[in-house]
Amino acid sequence: MIRRFEEISNNAWPALQSIQYDGWILRFANGVTKRSNSVNLLYPSTLDAEEKIDFCERQYLSHNIQPCFKITSIADPADIDQRLANRGYFIHSNISFQERDISDTPCEPLGDVLIETEINPHWIDDFIRMNGFDPKKKSAYIAIMHQVCTPKCLISLVRNHQTIGVGLGVTEGAFVGLFDIVVDQAYRHTGLGYLIVENLLRWGRKNGAQTAYLQVLTDNIPAIRLYEKIGFTEKYQYWYRMKS
């Protein structure tokens, strides 16, 4: 099930380029997000692991991207995490992959929200602004979202003509993934995060999803508490290793 969730979530947030390499997938997206710029170890590996790591490092460095490996409990070979540690790779971040059954979730929107199903550059502007990201990366975010092949939903919370919260939902079959949920710093801890998540769940249910999933940093305690309150539970964890 980990492999299937990884496939679905990779489809929901694609790379711009990828290389299939003996069970490993090298993903590239101009350095925007680790998910789209890391080596995913999803399938059985047969070649020498050290040679494969060397190959991956050369590929990422040639793209001016710091080499990064995404590790789950199904990573093959089984000792790859220790091999990377021995080569100076540190754990950059640890993520909890969570899911929730939404088969009984209502389909009607909750509250006053704007729901769009096409890419809106202004939505990306708001997402970048509220996260404090580099505006120069906007074109990469747009390019990534253009690669999404399944239905998507861009939710915005607007108050006094200003967007104060956004969220992205992407469906694939019976699953809906929740991404890029952020609330303007001036409006945090006021229940708006719940409103965004709830509307993404309702949109997903309306579009045939039975299960919702999301990914959250394990040290993001406020977000973890919110998702626990909404009914999400952890399925597994993964982590990124980067070269020091």
Instruction: Check: pTM over 0.85? Answer yes or no.
Output: yes
- Segment 209-228 mean pLDDT: 96
138 plus 179 within the same structural domain: yes
139 plus 93 within the same structural domain: no
What phi and psi values does residue 94 have, to the nearest 5 degrees?
A: -120, 130
Q: Is residue 150 part of a domain?
A: yes
| Inter-residue contact 32 to 170 (CB < 8 Å) | no
91 plus 136 within the same structural domain: no
196 plus 121 within the same structural domain: yes
- pLDDT score recorded for residue 244: 76
- Mean pLDDT of all residues belonging to the chain: 96
- Segment 13-25 mean pLDDT: 98
57 plus 140 within the same structural domain: no
- 98: part of which helix (H) or strand (E)? strand 89-101
Reported as a pLDDT band with limits 50, 70 and 90, residue 229 is very high
Look up the CATH number of the domain holding residue 193.
Answer: 3.40.630.30
Is pLDDT of 193 > 90? yes
pLDDT digits (tens, 9 = 90+) for 51-89: 999 999 999 999 999 999 999 999 999 999 999 999 999
157 plus 171 within the same structural domain: yes
Is pLDDT of 189 > 90? no
Q: Is residue 231 part of a domain?
A: no
Is pLDDT of 112 > 90? no
Question: What is the percent of the chain with per-residue pLDDT over 90, rounded to a whole number?
Answer: 96
127 plus 144 within the same structural domain: yes
184 plus 91 within the same structural domain: no
112 plus 93 within the same structural domain: no
pLDDT digits (tens, 9 = 90+) for 133-184: 999 999 999 999 999 999 999 999 999 889 999 999 999 999 999 999 999 9
| The two three-digit tokens of residue 139, written as one number | 């074109």
HSE (CB half, 13 Å, CA atoms) of 3?
A: 10
Domain end, chosen from 98, 116, 133, is at 98
Q: Reduced to 3 states, what is the DSSP secondary structure of residue 104?
A: coil
Question: Domain span at residue 141?
Answer: 103-209
6 plus 93 within the same structural domain: yes
- pLDDT score recorded for residue 32: 95
Q: Is residue 177 part of a domain?
A: yes
| The two three-digit tokens of residue 10, written as one number | 């990779």
- Segment 119-137 mean pLDDT: 95
- pLDDT score recorded for residue 151: 98
Domain count along the chain: 2
